[in-house]
Amino acid sequence: MSNFINEFKQFAVKGNAVDMAVGVIIGGAFGKIVSSIVDDIIMPPIGWIIGGVNFSDLKFTLPSVDVVGLEKLQPATINYGNFIQTTLDFIIIAFCVFMMVKGINSLSKKKEEEPAAPPAPPAPSAEEKLLAEIRDLLKEERK
């Protein structure tokens, strides 16, 4: 049981799981903002331009069926105006996500393209140091 709990802790604390949770929360809030932009800013002028139509009110009413002995039921409707608004929401969100991913990818490519600093030359070994000292001593004796 403790092994299971430790695995869960590792999963929950990992950066990927936390990043994903933050992304889902921000994505939900972003979706609400886009829905408001579409419903409150974009669609009203479009409806006004095409003759004062409110897209959320666009629907096709199916014929109601009278059943003997029951109260009259509300007719069923196909709300295609709401579908148009939801589709526009999706297109805007998909475009924004595409632009964000494209920007992140371009930043990561720039990091990959930057040349890495050349590696430092390895430190001389003890033998090389000793040989260099001998060389220097021999140069001094010849002078």
106 within domain boundaries? yes
- 95-101 contacts at long range (C-beta below 8 A, 24 or more positions apart): 96/30, 96/34
pLDDT digits (tens, 9 = 90+) for 9-49: 777 676 677 777 778 888 888 888 888 888 888 888 888 88
69 within domain boundaries? no
134 within domain boundaries? no
Q: For residue 78, what are the β-bridge partners?
A: 60
DSSP string of 42-94, one letter each residue: IHHHHHHHTTS--GGG--EEPPP---TTSPPPPPPEE-HHHHHHHHHHHHHHH
How much is the pLDDT for 114?
A: 66
142 within domain boundaries? no
What residues make up the domain containing 34?
2-63+74-114
pLDDT digits (tens, 9 = 90+) for 121-133: 888 888 888 888 8
pLDDT digits (tens, 9 = 90+) for 38-77: 888 888 888 888 887 777 788 888 887 776 666 777 788 8
- 128-136 contacts at long range (C-beta below 8 A, 24 or more positions apart): none
Contact yes or no for 58/32 (Cβ under 8 A): no
137 within domain boundaries? no
Q: State the CATH number of the domain containing residue 39.
A: 1.10.1200.120
Question: Among 41, 39, 121, which residue's Cα sits nearest to residue 81?
Answer: 39
52 within domain boundaries? yes
26 within domain boundaries? yes
Number of domains in the chain: 1
78 within domain boundaries? yes
What is residue 7's three-state secondary structure? Answer: helix
State how far the Cα of 35 lies from the Cα of 32, in Å rounded to an integer.
Answer: 5
